């Protein structure tokens, strides 16, 4: 509304009515965008009962610096139960599935 008032005050737009726009209301879209939802309740018990039941996997790359073995991509596997983390280095992004299969067989 401040922009409308500035345009009106400086006569920058033809045909704009000589009204003072007040910022007394919030449009419906803005109101919905500002609403937040309630967070989820914390669980009191763990739903994971054994290692390697829930894995968090992240892949990133290409990195600017090549590793010593000539790899640009990295695959990080994190076990939610034991909190162990494995880092696998990949030459190309397409090697992700094969690297995970090798990890799964170990």
Residue 87 near residue 72 (C-beta atoms within 8 A): no
Assigned token pair, 90:
């990949």
Q: What is the pLDDT of residue 84?
A: 92
pLDDT of residue 32: 77
Global pTM?
A: 0.55
The pLDDT of 77-105, averaged and rounded, is 90
Report the 10 Å Cβ neighbour count for 63: 12
8 A C-beta contact, residue 56 and residue 80: yes
**What pLDDT, in 10s, does the model give residues 84-97?**
999 999 999 998 99
Tens of pLDDT along 18-67?
A: 776 666 666 777 777 777 777 778 877 777 888 888 999 999 988 888 88
Confidence of residue 76 (pLDDT cuts 50, 70, 90): very high
């Amino acid at each position: 509304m401040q922009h409308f008032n500035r345009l009106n005050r400086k006569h920058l737009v033809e045909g704009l009515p000589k009204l003072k726009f007040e910022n007394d209301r919030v449009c419906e879209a803005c109101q919905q965008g500002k609403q937040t939802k309630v967070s989820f309740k914390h669980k009191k018990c763990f739903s994971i009962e054994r290692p390697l039941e829930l894995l968090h996997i992240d892949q990133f790359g290409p990195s600017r610096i090549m590793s010593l073995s000539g790899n640009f991509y990295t695959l990080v596997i994190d076990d939610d139960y034991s909190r162990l983390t494995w880092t696998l280095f990949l030459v190309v992004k397409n090697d992700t599935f094969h690297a995970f299969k090798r990890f799964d067989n170990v």
